């Protein structure tokens, strides 16, 4: 069974709309990370989501464009706001510790592939 589940797995969106991606983990985790993988490119960290505090955004990413929620230790959402075709990407949720064990590597969800027309 999947350890990290993302919804939706893919979507086609219209320019100017917003879409919220959900990430559910089957155990409590300290931090959740949101990455973007643009077509043919590597992964770029958008932000780190902690439960009970605001997310920490990387350079080039802002809360107004990518608001994040982290209501509890197993769930997070990433919203892509006012989308443009340049936002067409795979968005990946990842965590560092599973079942309380930190081993250094990140574990990833299957990703959410967004296409903006």
Partner 1 sequence: AQSVAQPEDQVNVAEGNPLTVKCTYSVSGNPYLFWYVQYPNRGLQFLLKYITGDNLVKGSYGFEAEFNKSQTSFHLKKPSALVSDSALYFCAVRGGFTGGGNKLTFGTGTQLKVEL
Q: Which residues bind partner 1 (CB under 8 A)?
A: 4, 6, 30-31, 41-43, 45, 48, 50, 58, 92, 94, 96-97, 102-111, 113
Cα–Cα distance measured from residue 73 to residue 80, given in angstroms and rounded to the nearest whole number: 22
CB closer to partner 1, 74 vs 81: 74
Residue (61 or 81) nearer to partner 1, CB: 61
Least CB distance to partner 1 at residue 82 (A): 26
Q: Apex CA 46: angle with CA 44 and CA 107, to 5°?
A: 70
**Considering beta carbons, is residue 65 or 113 the nearer one to partner 1?**
113
Report in angstroms how near the CB of residue 47 gets to partner 1 at its nearest. 11
């Amino acid at each position: 069974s999947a350890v990290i589940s993302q919804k939706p797995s893919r979507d086609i969106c219209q320019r100017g709309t917003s879409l919220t991606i959900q990430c559910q983990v089957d155990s409590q985790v300290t931090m959740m990370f949101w990455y973007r993988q643009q077509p043919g490119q590597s992964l770029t960290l958008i932000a780190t989501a902690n439960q009970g505090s605001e997310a920490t955004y990387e350079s080039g990413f802002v809360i107004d464009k990518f608001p994040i929620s982290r209501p509890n230790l197993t769930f997070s959402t990433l919203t892509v706001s006012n989308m443009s075709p340049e936002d067409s990407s795979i968005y990946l949720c990842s965590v560092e510790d599973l079942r309380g064990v930190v081993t250094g590597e990140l574990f990833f969800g299957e990703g959410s592939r967004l296409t903006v027309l």
